[in-house]
């Protein structure tokens, strides 16, 4: 019996030493400490032995069992530690390495200009109004003094959905909508200053400076004492904020069906300070927007009384401003989603 125990222990030691990983160690454990282990067989066979023999063999067998258990536990710890170390090594992070740049997207140049214009006007009390791109003929044309048959609503210029619905040709549709809404309120004060921006549509052939879809910001200030002098201040203030503080503006008489008087607004060239350069075509001035005082006809068409109220209005082409500000000479750049082009605006305004 004692011999058998020695053999078992030797065999166990051999197998323990040759186990190369957790799986093999599990096998050794199963073989030497399970129900069917040779050690258990010996204990079972002790029934036939004498009392003295049982005591002696029992004691020895127990020692062997403790030794096997302890050695197995120690080896398991060794292997588990080795596995953990391997894992830690693989997941090691060197915090002293430099960081890797994340490739963030950029704001679109048109959005940059819209944000800038929105800031300028909301800071002086204008509200932002959401508009609709699919508009009733009524608000896009009729209420803006563009009755049926007016040349500006010619089939060549406008996308018609049906006889009564068009893709808006300007953001001024929002002015008509707001005026009509204001005229119907019971509130005593019918004053409001608002801007609205978005896409507008014309049946244009696309080229370097024209697109069938482009963006506008339209604004108005409606009140009891709104004058042409207010309009002039608003336009100059906007240009100085948009370009630089030293620019001046120049007004030229013009015609729009919904304003009287109507003016084209030029800004003194912000690149050459009015001295003459390629950007301003040597004239020192750059044409940037159209504006005027809303005419009586339009006030009445939208339910307002031109005797007690007046309104200034302006419309700005976003692409035109963006092209001037960023020195872009092809309008198609805005719509091509070329990331090399867009990436140039990554740090604008920082
Ligand atoms: Zn110039």
Please check whether residue 100 lies inside any domain of the structure: no
In a domain, 96, yes or no: no
Q: Which residues are annotated as a binding site?
A: 260
Q: Is the pLDDT of residue 16 over 70?
A: yes
* Residue 219 tokens, joined: 């604004």
CB burial of 193-216 (b: ≥16 within 10 Å; e: otherwise) equals bbbbbbebbbeeeeeeeebeebbb
Tell me which of 36, 61, 90 is where a domain ends. 90
Same domain, 188 and 308: yes
The predicted-structure confidence for 47-72, as pLDDT tens digits, reads as follows 777 888 788 888 888 888 898 999 99
DSSP symbols for 1-47: -HHHHHHHHHHHHHHHHH--SHHHHHHHHHHHHSTTSHHHHHHHHGG
Residue 152 lies in a domain: yes
Q: Is residue 265 within 8 Å of 276, Cβ to Cβ?
A: no
> The tokens of 154 are what?
């010619």
What residues sit around ligand 1, an ion, with C-beta below 5 angstroms?
Answer: 269, 271-272, 277, 279-280
190-233 confidence digits (pLDDT tens): 899 999 999 999 988 888 878 899 999 999 999 999 999 999 99
Tell how far the Cα of 169 is from the centroid of ligand 1, in angstroms.
Answer: 31
173 and 318 fall within a common domain: yes
43 and 171 together in one domain: no
Expressed in angstroms and rounded, the spacing between residue 324 Cα and the centre of ligand 1 is 11
Q: Please tell me the total count of domains within the chain.
A: 2
The predicted structure's pLDDT at residue 156: 58
Inform me whether the pLDDT recorded for 104 exceeds 80: no
Are 147 and 71 found together in one domain?
no
Range 289-313 average pLDDT? 96
CA distance 51 to 18: 38
Binding residues for Mg(2+): 260
- The Cα–Cα gap between 342 and 109 comes to 7
The reply to whether 151 and 65 lie within a common domain is no
Instruction: With respect to residue 103, please indicate whether it lies within any of the assigned structural domains.
Output: no
Same domain, residue pair 127 and 84? no
User: Which residue range forms the structural domain that includes residue 40?
Assistant: 2-90
What residues contact residue 59 under an 8 Å CB cut-off, 6+ apart? none
CA 288 / ligand 1 centre spacing (Å): 13
- Cβ proximity of 214 and 339 under 8 Å: no
Kindly give the distance from the C-alpha atom of residue 326 to the centroid of ligand 1, in angstroms, as a whole number.
14
C-alpha of residue 317 to centroid of ligand 1, in Å: 20
Residue 308 is assigned to a structural domain of this protein:
yes
Question: When comparing pLDDT for 93 and 228, which is higher?
Answer: 228
Measured in angstroms, how far is the CA atom of residue 213 from the centroid of ligand 1?
Answer: 28
Q: What is the pairing mode between strands 127-128 and 192-201?
A: parallel
The alpha carbon of 106 and the centre of ligand 1 are apart by a number of angstroms equal to: 29
Distance (angstroms) between ligand 1 centre and the Cα of 273 equals: 6
> What spacing in Å lies between the alpha carbon of 348 and ligand 1's midpoint?
22
Strand-strand pairing, 310-317 and 285-294: antiparallel
135 Rama sector, left if φ>0, alpha if ψ -120 to 50, beta otherwise: beta
**pLDDT above 70: residue 155:** no
Of 323, 256, 335, nearest to 287 by C-alpha is 323
pLDDT exceeds 80 at position 124: yes
In a domain, 99, yes or no: no
**CB–CB of 215/114 below 8 Å?**
yes
Whether 81 and 203 share a structural domain: no
- pLDDT for 42 equals 78
Q: Which of 90, 122, 138 is the last residue of a domain?
A: 90
Looking only at Cα atoms, what is the longest distance across the chain? 129
Q: Return the CATH number at 235.
A: 3.30.930.10
Report how far ligand 1's centroid is from the alpha carbon of 330 (Å).
Answer: 19
Residues 73 and 176 in one domain: no
Ligand 1 centroid – CA 319 distance (Å): 19
Task: Indicate if 180 and 292 belong to the same structural domain.
Answer: yes
Question: What percent of the chain shows pLDDT beyond 90?
Answer: 59
Backbone angles phi, psi at 255, to 5 degrees: -135, 125
Residue 193: asked if its preceding bond is cis (omega within 30°), the reply is no
Predicted pLDDT at 106 = 85
pLDDT of 265 over the 90 cut? yes
Phi/psi class of residue 39: alpha, beta or left (left: φ > 0; alpha: ψ in -120 to 50)?
A: alpha
Q: How far apart are CA 139 and CA 168, in angstroms?
A: 9
Provide the total of helices (H) and of strands (E) in the chain, helices listed first. 11, 9
Answer whether residue 89 shows pLDDT above 70.
Answer: yes
Residue 95 lies in a domain: no
Considering only CA atoms, which of 314, 286, 271, 325 is closest in space to residue 109?
Answer: 325
């Amino acid at each position: 019996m004692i011999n058998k125990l020695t053999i078992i222990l030797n065999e166990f030691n051999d197998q323990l030493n040759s186990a190369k990983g957790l799986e093999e160690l599990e096998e050794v454990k199963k073989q030497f400490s399970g129900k069917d282990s040779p050690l258990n067989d010996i204990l079972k066979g002790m029934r036939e032995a004498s009392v003295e023999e049982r005591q002696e063999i029992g004691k020895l067998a127990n020692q062997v069992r403790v030794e096997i258990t302890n050695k197995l536990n120690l080896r398991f710890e060794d292997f588990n530690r080795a596995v953990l170390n391997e894992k830690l090594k693989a997941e090691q992070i060197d915090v002293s390495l430099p960081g890797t740049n994340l490739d963030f997207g950029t704001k679109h140049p048109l959005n940059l200009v819209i944000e800038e214009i929105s800031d300028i006007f909301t800071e002086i009390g204008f509200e932002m109004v959401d508009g609709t791109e699919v508009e009733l003929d009524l608000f896009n044309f009729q209420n803006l003094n563009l009755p049926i048959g007016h040349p500006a609503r010619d089939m060549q210029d406008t996308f018609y959905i049906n006889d009564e619905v068009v893709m808006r040709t300007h953001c001024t549709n929002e002015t008509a909508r707001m005026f009509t809404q204001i005229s119907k309120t019971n509130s005593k004060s019918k004053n409001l200053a608002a801007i609205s921006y978005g896409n507008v549509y014309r049946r244009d052939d696309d080229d370097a400076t024209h697109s069938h879809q482009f963006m506008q910001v339209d604004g108005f200030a409606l009140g009891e004492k709104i004058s042409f002098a207010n309009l002039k201040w608003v336009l100059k203030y906007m240009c100085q904020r948009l370009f630089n503080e030293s620019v001046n503006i120049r007004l030229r008489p013009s015609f729009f069906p919904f304003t009287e008087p109507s003016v084209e607004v030029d800004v003194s060239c912000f690149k050459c300070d009015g001295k003459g350069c390629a950007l301003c075509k040597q004239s020192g001035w750059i044409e940037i927007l159209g504006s005027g005082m809303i005419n009586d006809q339009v006030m009445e068409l939208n339910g307002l009384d031109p005797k007690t109220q007046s309104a200034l209005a302006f419309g700005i082409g976003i692409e035109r401003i963006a092209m001037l500000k960023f020195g872009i000479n092809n309008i198609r750049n805005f719509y091509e989603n070329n990331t090399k082009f867009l990436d140039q605006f990554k740090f604008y305004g920082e």
